[in-house]
Amino acid sequence: MRRISEVLCLGCLVAGSFGMAAAQEQSMAPPKVLTVTREFVKPGKTGAMHDKAESAFVQAFARTKYPTHYLAMNSLSGKQRVLFFTGYDSFAAWEKDATAINKNAAMSAALDHASVVDGDLLDSVDMGTWVYREEYSLRPNVDIAHMRYFDISLYRVKPGHHKDWDDALKMVLAAEQKLPDNRWACYQGIYGVPEGTYVFITPRKSADEIDKNMSQEKDFFSAMGEEGMKKLDELAAVAIESSESNLFMFNPKMSYVSDDWVKADPDFWKPKAAPAVAPKKPTDKTGTGQ
């Protein structure tokens, strides 16, 4: 079992209510409710093929200027899958969004058609709903529009050991306060995941931030102290059923983001298509002009 200290030291911020303004360097707070759809893609069906299928959903929402946005990301570890994050201010806001889509016949028809095409590429789909845990988060506000990765760590807490889990997290957070560059947002699973499931999501601009986190492990151990590390390991051993960390890369082609995000970083979210290159005229090697 990986120690909680190791995983959290290496540590999402999810795009809070994805339609919120995101200026050039404006931080955003995590949404209170997060819905996550996972699509597990068949071997050989990833890449441009899946991008094209998902673009039909993006176009359907864009045509109506639909106000609710979502962020898509591809897995760089573990089983091939795509995550779709949508944030809401409340469960009531989620219900309002679902009702609005169901009442829009044209959009519902377009989404149904896109689902059939997309479904041929997938092994399976599942959905989960999460709520934000502010007390377990660290410096969660961030400029998501300029991020490129989510580093996501998932924990399952043993039944009857939530007090041990809470004590361990308080120790980790106290030590991490001394490391100013580290940050994450914590969510607890409510629907669609086993009880006692938590995720810690760290946004990253580039992969070199992972190298930097690795090099700071000794600083975390120093902040904890020898006795603190011993206590933390004991709490982790009794509290954690399992843990797993994975890295995901944002996919702008599958994401339906706000105009503010596009303006903040247009080269990433809406890159210009490469100009078509005219085929070269064959060289006349005979000298006949034919």
**Cα–Cα distance for residue pair 18/68, rounded to 1 Å:** 7
* pLDDT tens sequence across 141-198: 999 999 999 999 999 999 999 999 999 999 999 999 998 888 999 999 999 999 999 9
pLDDT tens digits, 194-239: 999 999 999 999 999 999 888 888 899 999 999 999 999 999 999 9
What type of residue is 10? L
Please report whether residue 261 resides in a domain. Answer: yes
Residue 26 pLDDT greater than 90, yes or no: no
Residue 216's pLDDT is what? 80
Cβ atoms of 36 and 85 closer than 8 Å? yes
> Is 280 part of any domain?
no
How far is residue 250's CA from residue 204's CA, in Å, rounded to a whole number? Answer: 10
CA dist., res. 56 & res. 94, Å (int): 22
pLDDT interval class at 136 (50, 70, 90): very high
Roughly how many angstroms between the first and final C-alpha of the chain, as a whole number? 73
C-alpha dist (Å) from residue 226 to 194, 216, 229, 232, 233: 34, 16, 5, 10, 11
Report the percent of the chain where pLDDT is more than 90: 76
What's this model's pTM, rounded to 2 decimal places? 0.85
- 289 falls within a domain: no
Number of domains in the chain: 1
Query: For residue 278, is it within any domain?
Result: no
Rg (alpha carbons) of the chain, rounded to whole number: 22
Does the residue 153 lie in any domain? yes
- Domain assignment of residue 47, yes or no: yes
**CATH of residue 32:** 3.30.70.100
Specify if 288 maps to a domain. no
List the domain range (segments joined by +) for residue 112: 4-269
Listed residue (266, 237, 229) closest to 9, CA to CA:
229
For residue 32, is it within any domain?
Answer: yes
